[in-house]
Amino acid sequence: MAWLIAFCVGGLVSLAYFYSIKVGIADLGKQHAAAIESGSRPRELGQEEGHETPSPKVDAYIQPGSSNPYPPQTILGGIVWDDKYVDVRLDIGVGAVAIQNLDFEVALDTSIAGIGQISQFAGVTSFPDGRQMPSVSLEGTDDKGKPITVPLVPTQGLAQIAPRYRVHCNALYSNTALHLVIASVALNQATQGRLPEQLFAPKRSPHLIKLKGTFEAASQQFPIEFQRTFDNPESERPTRLPAQTVHTPKPITHVPQPPSENLTTITVEARMTCTIKEGEELPPSTQDIIGGFGTGQLVGSAGTVELSRTNPVEFRKQRNNEMIVVNHFYVANSESLIGTPIF
Amino acid sequence: MNYDKVIVPITVLGSGRVLDQIRLVEITMTINNKYTWYYPYKLGPVSFQDGGPTVSIPLAGIENVLK
């Protein structure tokens, strides 16, 4: 009897042992299959510890002390600094993932006179939104009455004032930062379709900066967007980059369009500064011009729009034996161009 | 719509005899009284002749807002 009991107990123990071996092998099989599956599947951006998520951080601030004038002829990031400028800094820091073809538009609630780089990356370009500063031509006659055209090319370092600038950077390496300097300038607003007598307003800091564009990483394009309000423009810069700036690891599927705005006015002002011949009688400071005389044109594939003149023509004598002649033009409300969308 | 050039004749209304050499041409364009572009162009020695030159300005810098 004792042998029978020992045989049964031993059998049960053996069965339990074999069952545990079977369950263990099954678990090992499941784990191995899971490991194979995860190893053969391509890793997605941001899937592992966040190291592969392209996450450029954007920061902007008013350079402390820039409310005071910089020394004359200071050149900052290639910009010949003017007393009217306020120094706005824009930093774009890159994490562990390098990025390429960073391309964005930047705007302030003031105007931008220039953007320069104060870091050392090659392949960084900035220009007024659209294209490079236009090359103007001056058409007239020479001293023998023959037609002549003088091409005017942009002067390096001179202000190129525009509401928005575009910046392109070919590549930013991992764990680096692009440092840009923005020359902010305040302009007096046009009123009733006429530019102000003084284009430049008293120096003031901007209160808002907006940035919007794209960059590439791992052969995919990503959006980059940033906005900051300078609550206290004269305050010191923040000690670290804000966390909420940019972190959107989803590739772009479409680019949203800004809301439309209709065209209400176009004004053009041409100022010509000339030296004055000695002994000649100077003209009065203003002279009216007969309506319809010497109108300008806006031309293109869409047709021709007349630019009417606004009286008077101004003659501003300068202290250095120079005179500025100012001509004003505008597009009349009767032109079909007025009222069409501009954005 | 598409416009690619602005042509503005600068007139001095018979005061050309006073002016000797053109030193600087500044073009300012404003849309909707709030979007302003300002471009200054310095010139070499260019004599002023007759009634005044005509300035031809490509709209490359602002074409986006005129489409």
Same domain? A125 vs A185: yes
Cα distances from A304 to residues A99, A187, A298, B3, in angstroms, run 44, 29, 6, 8
Range of the domain at A298: 267-331
The answer to which of A18-32, A201-215, B19-33 has the lowest mean pLDDT is: A18-32
- All residues of chain A having their beta carbon less than 8 Å from the beta carbon of residue B38 are 111, 159-162, 187, 199
CB count in 10 Å sphere of residue A176: 17
C-alpha radius of gyration, chain B, whole number: 14
Judge whether A239 lies within some domain.
no
Q: Say what the pLDDT of residue A279 is.
A: 86
Judge whether A120 lies within some domain.
yes
Which residue among A270, A300, A342 places its CB closest to the CB of B4?
A: A300
Same domain? A82 vs A214: yes
B34: number of CA atoms within 13 Å, CB side? 9
Is B61–A128 a contact, with Cβ atoms under 8 angstroms apart? yes
Same domain? A171 vs A211: yes
Q: Say what the pLDDT of residue A335 is.
A: 84
Find residues 235-264 of chain A whose CB sits inside 8 Å of chain B.
261, 263-264
Same domain? A195 vs A281: no
Category of A66 on φ-ψ map: left (φ > 0), alpha (ψ -120 to 50) or beta: alpha
Same domain? A74 vs A197: yes
Contact between A113 and A187 under an 8 Å Cβ cutoff? The reply is: no
| DSSP character string of A226-238 | EEEE-SSTTSPPP
Judge whether A317 lies within some domain.
yes
Q: Which residue has the higher pLDDT, A216 or A6?
A: A216
Highest mean pLDDT among A110-114, A234-238, A240-244, A256-260: A110-114
Contact between A263 and B35 under an 8 Å Cβ cutoff? The reply is: no
Highest mean pLDDT among A19-23, A305-309, B62-66: A305-309
Domain count, chain A: 3
Same domain? A75 vs A218: yes
How far apart are the two ends of chain B, measured CA to CA in Å?
A: 5
Q: Say what the pLDDT of residue A140 is.
A: 78
Judge whether A64 lies within some domain.
yes
Judge whether A243 lies within some domain.
no
The answer to which of A110-124, A133-147, A310-324 has the lowest mean pLDDT is: A133-147
Judge whether A49 lies within some domain.
no
Whether residue A338 lies within 8 A of chain B, CB to CB, comes out as no
Same domain? A84 vs A32: no
In SS3 terms, chain B reads as: CCCCEEEEECCCCCCHHHEEEEEEEEEEEEECCCEEEEEEEEEEEEECCCCCCEEEEECCCCHHHHC
The answer to which of A132-141, A198-207, A268-277, B53-62 has the lowest mean pLDDT is: A132-141
- The CATH number linked to A160 is 2.60.40
Mean pLDDT, chain A, as a whole number?
79
Same domain? A220 vs A131: yes
Which residue among A134, A139, A276 places its CB closest to the CB of B61?
A: A134
Same domain? A210 vs A95: yes
Express each pLDDT in A177-225 by its tens digit.
999 999 999 988 777 656 777 788 889 999 999 999 999 998 899 999 9
Contact between A235 and A120 under an 8 Å Cβ cutoff? The reply is: no
Question: At A35, is the pLDDT very low, low, confident or very high (cuts 50, 70, 90)?
Answer: very low
pTM across the whole model: 0.66
For residue A12, what are its two tokens?
Answer: 């049960």
Whether residue A139 lies within 8 A of chain B, CB to CB, comes out as yes
Same domain? A12 vs A128: no
Same domain? A179 vs A294: no
Same domain? A197 vs A83: yes
Q: From CA A321, how far away is CA A311, in angstroms rounded? A: 25
